[in-house]
Structure 1
């Protein structure tokens, strides 16, 4: 019955195993038969090899939302196939949710070929230095950027470059970015670095999750070309929602985003309608000697 359906708008595919071949066959037919009407596709799989064939050499003119997740990274040749499919099959793509490891390791997909229609990019899983650097070449006018569990564990002695790469990525998309969610989980070996945030003229929702690294934060002020304390009128003139999650013992990020005046009142402007502050506790397991 299912392979005969030809007008689906949304499909969620999850391959639990490669042993049941009939499941794979049905899924392929479902996706291919609804190519002209499909608007949303979520594709998840397990196993050693990727079977993304159902959309290869097939154009989906109405597809706007695409999710691609893998429990473990595919082989390089499979990554190439994913990149080629995204380029050729989804010309109207607006929202892409993808494992950060898959996005960065595309070999045949130049980031300059990302569909210009893309407005939302969500990278799931640990993002490394190379993956963040890769984002600098994307030329889309993003409205939403989600960086989940950014962890620069591959930078080695170049730890001082972390603030620069983060600022460059944020600056690239800042003119059009309306929603930013970033989860910082890197470890810098006790160094205290200065992290810089650009101006976000159309930012409406900001979410920052920090594990204690952001101890020194500075905000851009184009009028003076100097980074300093936050000025919401300059940095976030239309911000509506602020969510800051910080380590319980380190209140530095809170002071940066919610500075207090001498009279004890917060300097947050009245157009910020929602403020969500959460404190998390990091547990350390004691190892007996």
Structure 2
């Protein structure tokens, strides 16, 4: 069930109304020499304050009627109990277009000059079931007018010219453009995502529910829901993808864990990883990937 959060505008109006109702915005009445005149002035002042408060309340209602309310969906319960899986934790980027360089398994850097094309990167391990969480670190300066992240099939293209939202550009992938905060499907924006105000933060999370074909997103502070739904099974296994268009951009994607009942082989790791805001963002440790042809499935 969504929680309705009033915007700061609403509280500001209430604060003003409260100040008016206490009479602090009015200078104190000067004492009259005669008691009758003083009483009449007091009554007149009280009536005037009451009228002003009533007018302010009406204005507050009208002013806030058009104010958007932020809908915050609850984080799915399984996301609180994800645990690293040994068969996925060693994976990372292994397929990129010629405009990107893999500096370590979780980081790609765009070395192509200019921003007239979009270069793509794909994760090495395909997901055919289960529930998984990935952490993305994508600074705002490296986004430009289009920066996409999502999932796609092994045959989804990794290059687009002219520049555009790569992930979600055709029927082989589904993506979120974090620059425009819109879900991209078949090359078209289909819906908005991630709140009504502000930018998507540098660090955010992607929740891949391969059992239901849904992909969600959220920050360390809130969950934005599952804007990507109903991914057809003929696209499986699903591979994490990114589309980058800014020269010099550094993008990180890190696997953070799998739900205990995830459809992946091998024993579950004993420790439980809970998604939370880290004290500070640390660069991942470079690991050596096993030889891969990009067809591993989990």
Q: TM-score, normalised by structure 2?
A: 0.23
Larger radius of gyration: 2
Higher strand share: 2
Bigger RCO of structures 1 and 2 (CA < 8 A, at least 6 apart): 2
